[in-house]
Structures are given as structure tokens and as C-alpha cells.
Structure 1
Amino acid sequence: MPDPLAVVVAGPAGSGKSTLGRALARTLRAPLVDLDSVTTALLDALPLDALGGHWLTSPHAGLIRDGRYAALRATAADALSTAGRVVVVAPFTAELSGGEEWRALVAALAPAEPHVVLVDGDPAVLASRRSARGAPRDTHRPDTAPVAPRVPAITVDAELSTAQQLARVLPALGVRRPVDPGAGIFAREFDAVLFDLDGTLVDSTASVVKSWRRFAEHFDVSLEALHANHGQPARTLISLLLPAERHTDALAHVTDLEVTDAAGLAPVRGAAAFFTSVPAERRAIVTSGSVPIASARLAAAGLPVPEVFVTVDDVARGKPDPEPFLLAAERLGVDPGRCLVVEDAPAGIAAARAAGCAVLALTGTTAEEELTADLVVDGLDAVRLEVAASGALRLLPA
């Protein structure tokens, strides 16, 4: 039998933890045990005078919480003992502090070692979601401070879509996308590797979404139009959304938002080791971002700036036009047809294809069916590079 698996999905109200928990349960084929499903209907059915007010603000709120979580632990323990795996969803505010409540949860889920997934995000966004869903209990919910977990946790941003969140959580749980060792790309040789930046080397997807959401709110433009054009230069997006007289101010505004939000960004899974495994004179970064944004994100992720660094400021036509990749190959002194491009977005893949390059695509930003690459992986730790006897670079399964 496989080892028992317990995934604990935590987060404040409005973070989307229940949605992610349900998606994880489906993917892992595990029973879902949600605190609201286990206890809320019963509590809502009790008369207010029996509790001294709504159960969230009752004088007995502490005892009610103890009872709710006791019921949750017992239900989760039953599910785990019968199915061998379980996904448990609740705020788990006290549990994340690592004290007595955490020890009680660990004991209930034994012998599985719980994997904690924390979903969190901008408090203003979470408040807006709670207001939009109109759940009666949210009108009684007290304000709570953001949780800084004291137990190991996989943290995902509430700004990401459920699919984007899954793409980060599943590999962390050891559930990996299989790599076909017979893929044709493994038989090819390359002279250089050209890397996209956002979503490829730096996990900036949530930061990009957050910055452009704030941009959209400030300039009153459509978020749907922004999402449909991921991977294109900011100046291109702005030209599609705003009149010409506002372009300069809009570009400065979004640049400031993205540079400010770059602090704390991390590398994509496996990106640091893969990037530094390429000889310095044979690698380049090709990004649709500007120098200030790209430099801030590289610095935050602790990645070195390569000698060949093509940004939107270097080209007349950005992705999906092939010009950025052709320019990078030219600066490296190599044939584009002997370049491997690492990308995460359809616009970048289209640009690489048009330049004659082979393409390795990463999940995490775009739906897999849109990644028409030579190989698709869920992290750069799924592959590795070696220098062949000929001196060329070869891609291999990890």
C-alpha cells in the first residue's frame, strides 16, 4: 500500500482554500474534509439565544472553536484510516502557530505527516471576495491579523488561479508530471540556452497579477484583456487598453508597481541550479519586461544577470514576434536553430518557434494545452543539462 497522505489546506476567509482543497482532493483522489461542511450547518441551525449571539461572536466562541476542530480532527482521522489519504480544509489559525492545537492535529492524522498548504494574499482582495460571496457568517467574522506560520508550509498566493496553485503545490507534494525519456528534444544538441524570465526563472506570476490588477483598478481597464495577453510587453498591453496620451504615465505607473512588488520573489522550482549549469557565455535572458523590472526580480530571486540580457527596451517588436530571441542568438554568436528556449507563455513559445528554436515549456502560468512546446515540465528540476563530447549542450531527464 502507498504511504498515507494528509494535506492540510489553511488560509483566511476569502482566500480560496476550499476551492484549492477540493481541486487537490480530486487530483489526489482523496476524501475532502472541510471544517465548514462538517460543522457550519449545525451551528447555523442553532438558535442565537442558545449561544448568546452568532456562534462566531458568542461568549462561548472559544469552546465552539474547540468543538468544531475536535469534530474536524475526528472526521479527518476516520477518512485517513479508511482511504489512506485525506485533504483537510480550515483556517487553522491556531494550529499554524505550532502549539497544542498543532500537536492535536498531528496526532489525529498519524501515521501520516501532514503537509500544510497555506493560501494567503492581499487583505483587501480577501475582504472584497468575502463581500462578493455574501455569506451571512462573514458579517459576524472578526478581523484577524495575517498568519506567519511557525510550522513548515507550502505557501501559495490567493491571486493565482486554482490551476496555477495546483502547479506549485503538487510538485511540492511529490506529485510530478511525468517526463518522456524518449522525447525528441533529448536527442538534439544546442549551442546556447535562452531563458524567459517571469514564470520561467522567477516565480513572479502572482506579483504580475497583483501589479496589473492594481493598474487596472487605477486606470479602470479590463482585467480579462490583461489576462488574455500574458507574455506581451507592458507597452503593447497599454497600447491596447488606453489612449495614446495616457501611455507614458501608465507605463511609469505599472513599472513602479512591479518593481516595488518584486521584493521577496523566489526562483521557480529548479531554476537556480538549471540556469547556473549553463556556461555563462552560452546563456541569455530574453524578457518582455523592462530593465528596472527584470533587474529587480532577478535580484530578489538571487539570480545573476547574464552578459546577454535582452529586454523590451532592446527591440522594436516584442513577443510573439521572433525579434527578441533572434537578437539574443546574434549577441551570443550562435545559430537560432541551435538554441534551446525555456518559456512559460504562449506568446513566448510562438516567438521562439518563429525564430527556429527548440522550446522547453514550464507549467505554472498557462494551461498545459496551450504550451505547444517540444517538451513540457512542471519544474526545471525535472531536467538537466550536460556538455556533450562535441562540446554542445544536451538536455536530459533529471
Structure 2
Amino acid sequence: MTPMSSGSMTRVSRWVYPERVTTECQPPSPRCVLVAGPAGSGKSTLAKALATQLRLPLLDLDTLTNPLLDGLPASALAEHWLSPAHGPAIRDARYAALTAVAAEVTATAGAAVLVAPFTAELAGAAAWDRLRAALGPTDPVVVWIRGDAQLFARRRVQRAADRDDHRPPTPEPVPPAVDHLPIDAELTTAQQVFRVLRALGEPMGVAPGPPAGGIEVDALLFDLDGTLADSTASVARCWDRLAREFGAEPRLIQENHGQPSDVLVGTLVGPDRQAAGRARIRELEIADAPFIDPIPGAHQFFSSVPDDRRAIVTSGVRDLATARLGAVGLPVPGIMVTFDDVEHGKPHPEPYLLAARRLGVDPARCLVFEDAPAGIASARAAGCRVIAVLGTSPAAELTGAELVVDGLDRLTLVRRGDAFRVVPAG
């Protein structure tokens, strides 16, 4: 896959206070956004959420064309219009209608969110050139919802839409040949929207205002998952598969994010199958580790901290933590507290107390970076200060953190004698 480069985009530097979160919308991006993905990927849901957040018109291929095609008399077509018999002709007509409407909308409104499979267009060549030309002088941002074909097939069964009864067999998803932003289908809609807006450089709907002088500490302690490594989708994939294999309820996974793996296994599979469940989830997560993404700015910020003043504190086991660090190109620090090292995991304070003790630093002089309520509770109970990183949980749930940022690229570490001060970047 070809991830979209954000180097040329303007990003807004800001610090976020959880108690000052607002729903006030920001001015829309001037670029059109194309949301694409296979049937069942959730592209219409994501596109609607993005259009609402960006205050842009929403143009859905299905909404624009399906009512007309569904309303044709039975004598007009020998088979359903989605059947392979009508393939190219119907397909070309539908996309011609979408392109024409999009050209008028962008000429008047300036931009729009478009949603369709865009299979031919995203392969490049003439179809892509025609679409680009219709949307104005600036190339659109392509958001591609990636995922497993079996996941999309299950979703199509669950939605029980009539159109799926006439759809030809869906092949394995093929990522776009054009520049695009991949978004995992396993994420919640809110998590997907967050990642798209972050890539676009859009404000997150929160009020700025850094604390005077930044935050001064002697050591920095980092959670791993959702803080240094964007493993949220990987976690969802693996735990969903475990739940399906063991006949458990998948919703319990989201409700217990940040809990130690062994605790969550017990919640999902019950006491009689915990050993098998623990072994299976470790196998699944380690196998999936190469597919996780880095958190923006995590490598640079983490690497700016001297090794004797930093630690990773994770609810995962050591071999999984090592695999995920390797996947995002981060070194294993000299101090790393994992679930293997403690009797009580997060939200108990033991993990962060142990990390501070190993570093020889007073917990009150430690700054913790976390993404989940359980981790924040653990750090606060240990007496540490906390900065929360968005991407897993909504800001409103990150109570206890004195500051919330949407990525570690928002922060800079400044040496002050034997101490460090964390200040806004740039």
C-alpha cells in the first residue's frame, strides 16, 4: 500500500485540555476527500461522519444513482442492474452522474466528500485523470478503508441489504495505485475520523493554550499501544478473531481497552479456557505485529529522551512489546515494564511505580504518556503526571490527564540541567 504523505500539508500545532473540549466546528478543508473501499467496508458511514465534521457536501454514488436504477420497470433490464450482464454500461453511467454532480458542487461549494468504490479511478490512468479534472485544480485526498475480505463479507451478511443479493462475487481488496491514506476497517468510526483529520491537518475541535513554561520532570514513561505504536486496529483484529474462535462477545473488547491481556482473556473466555485463550491471543498478536503503524512524531520524540531517563510501561507481554517496537522502528529501552514483571497490571499503580523505581526517580517527577483511561488511572495512582494521546479514546474519557495531544509531534523535549521540560513543538 502507498500511504499518503502528509509532509506538504499544513498541520495545526495545539495543546488540548480535556475539560475544555468543544463541539465547535472548524472551517472546511479546501480539498475534496474521496472515501473508497470494498462493499461492506463502512465507507459510507465514514464519509458521512467526515462530511459532518468538515461541513462539506456529501456525494454518495449509491444515493445519487440507486433510486433511479431501482425505479426502472422490470421490462427495462433483463437482470438486476448490479448483475454482471450490465457491468460496464451501468457502471460508466453511474460514475458519469457522480462526476458531473461533483464538478458542479465543487465549483460552487469549493470541495466535497465523495464516496464510492472508485475501483477503476484508483487504478490510475484515464479514469483517474477524468475524476481529478472534474474536482478542480487540487488533487483530492483519497481515503482507502483496508481490511480482510472475510470481515467485509461478514458485514455484508449482517447488513442484509437487497443489493448484496445481486452483487457479483467480491474479489480480494486491491489497494489504490494512486497516492492514498489507508484507514483500518477494524477501527471505530470515531477512531477513523480522528486519523483522517489528523492527516489532513484539521483542528480536532478543541481549545488551544499550553501551560506556562511547559511541564518539568526528571523522567518520561511511555505506554506502548496507542501511544508509541498505532496498534489499535491490530488489537481489534486479533481480539475479534479470538472472540469468534471462542464464541465470546466482541463488544467486551472495546469496553476493556487498556486492561492487561490476561485480564481481558478471562473476561472473554471464562476461567475454564484461560490458558488456551492466553496462548492463542499472544500467537495472534505477535503474528499481526508487522502490520501496525507508528504514531506521528513518536519515533522522534521517544528518541530525544536519554535511555537512562525513559521507560516503556505496557500491559502486554515482553515478546509482544518487542515485536511491536520493532514494527515501528523503535529500540527496546533499557527499562521496560511489561505484564510479565508485575503482580497487578493497569489500572493498579504497580507498573508505573516499578518503572520509576528502576529508573531511580521519584514518581512525582515522572511524566507519563498514555492513551487509555486504565493507563491514566494507573499513572495517577502512582503519583505521576500524565499527558494523554488521542486516537484510541475520546478526549472526554481521558480524565485525569492534565494535557491531551493528538500526536507526539506536538511536543518538544528541552533539557534544563538535570531535568527536562516538555513544551509545545515549533
The TM-score with structure 2 as length reference comes to 0.90
Alignment-derived partner of residue 215 in structure 1:
242
Alignment-derived partner of residue 117 in structure 1:
143
Alignment-derived partner of residue 46 in structure 2:
20
Alignment-derived partner of residue 387 in structure 1:
415
Q: Are 2:362 and 1:335 aligned?
A: yes
Alignment-derived partner of residue 13 in structure 2:
none
Closer/same/farther in 2, CA of residues 190 and 31 from structure 1, 3 Å limit: same
Closer/same/farther in 2, CA of residues 228 and 58 from structure 1, 3 Å limit: closer
Contact kept? 2:228, 2:294, Cα under 8 Å: yes
Contact kept? 1:322, 1:351, Cα under 8 Å: yes
- Match of 1:62, SS state, is helix
How big is each residue's C-alpha offset from its partner over 1:182-233, in whole Å with a ceiling of 9 and x where there is no partner?
326x533111110001111111001101111111111111222222111011
How big is each residue's C-alpha offset from its partner over 1:323-342, in whole Å with a ceiling of 9 and x where there is no partner?
10111111111111111111
Alignment-derived partner of residue 372 in structure 2:
345
CA distance in 1, matches of 2:309, 2:74: 69
Contact kept? 2:371, 2:388, Cα under 8 Å: yes
CA distance in 1, matches of 2:51, 2:247: 37
Within the candidate set 394, 401, 404, 1:376 is matched to: 404
Counterpart amino acid of residue 212 in structure 1:
W
Instruction: State the 1:381 CA deviation.
Output: 1.0
Alignment-derived partner of residue 191 in structure 1:
218
Alignment-derived partner of residue 309 in structure 2:
282
Closer/same/farther in 2, CA of residues 2 and 295 from structure 1, 3 Å limit: closer
Counterpart amino acid of residue 378 in structure 1:
D
Counterpart amino acid of residue 54 in structure 1:
H
CA distance in 1, matches of 2:28, 2:183: 26
Contact kept? 1:193, 1:284, Cα under 8 Å: yes
Within the candidate set 197, 215, 231, 2:258 is matched to: 231
Counterpart amino acid of residue 232 in structure 2:
T
How big is each residue's C-alpha offset from its partner over 1:24-82, in whole Å with a ceiling of 9 and x where there is no partner?
00000000000001111111112344233111225332021111111111111111111
- Match of 1:213, SS state, is helix
Runs of 5+ consecutive residues of structure 1 not aligned to the other structure:
none
Counterpart amino acid of residue 102 in structure 2:
A
227-236 or 47-56, larger mean C-alpha shift: 47-56
CA distance in 2, matches of 1:209, 1:176: 26
173-182 or 65-74, larger mean C-alpha shift: 173-182
Alignment-derived partner of residue 80 in structure 2:
54
Q: Are 2:319 and 1:319 aligned?
A: no
CA distance in 2, matches of 1:245, 1:222: 16
Closer/same/farther in 2, CA of residues 164 and 3 from structure 1, 3 Å limit: closer
Counterpart amino acid of residue 377 in structure 1:
V
Contact kept? 1:179, 1:382, Cα under 8 Å: no
Runs of 5+ consecutive residues of structure 2 not aligned to the other structure:
1-26
CA distance in 2, matches of 1:375, 1:241: 33
Instruction: State the 1:243 CA deviation.
Output: 3.8
CA distance in 2, matches of 1:392, 1:28: 41
Counterpart amino acid of residue 163 in structure 2:
R
CA distance in 1, matches of 2:267, 2:94: 51
Contact kept? 2:149, 2:172, Cα under 8 Å: no
Q: Are 2:325 and 1:298 aligned?
A: yes
CA distance in 1, matches of 2:36, 2:423: 37
Alignment-derived partner of residue 11 in structure 2:
none
Counterpart amino acid of residue 110 in structure 1:
G
Q: Are 2:32 and 1:11 aligned?
A: no
Alignment-derived partner of residue 182 in structure 2:
155
Contact kept? 2:99, 2:134, Cα under 8 Å: yes
Instruction: State the 1:121 CA deviation.
Output: 1.1
- Match of 1:85, SS state, is coil
Cα RMSD of the aligned pairs, angstroms, is 1.6
Counterpart amino acid of residue 177 in structure 2:
R
Q: How does 1:175-186 map to 2 (within 5 A)?
A: 175-177=202-204, 180-183=208-211, 186=213
- Match of 2:44, SS state, is helix
Instruction: State the 1:237 CA deviation.
Output: 1.4
Closer/same/farther in 2, CA of residues 236 and 145 from structure 1, 3 Å limit: closer
- Match of 1:263, SS state, is helix
Alignment-derived partner of residue 71 in structure 1:
97
Contact kept? 2:39, 2:156, Cα under 8 Å: yes
Q: Percent identity?
A: 55
Alignment-derived partner of residue 164 in structure 2:
138
Which fold has the larger relative contact order, with Cα–Cα distance below 8 Å and residues 6 or more apart in sequence?
2
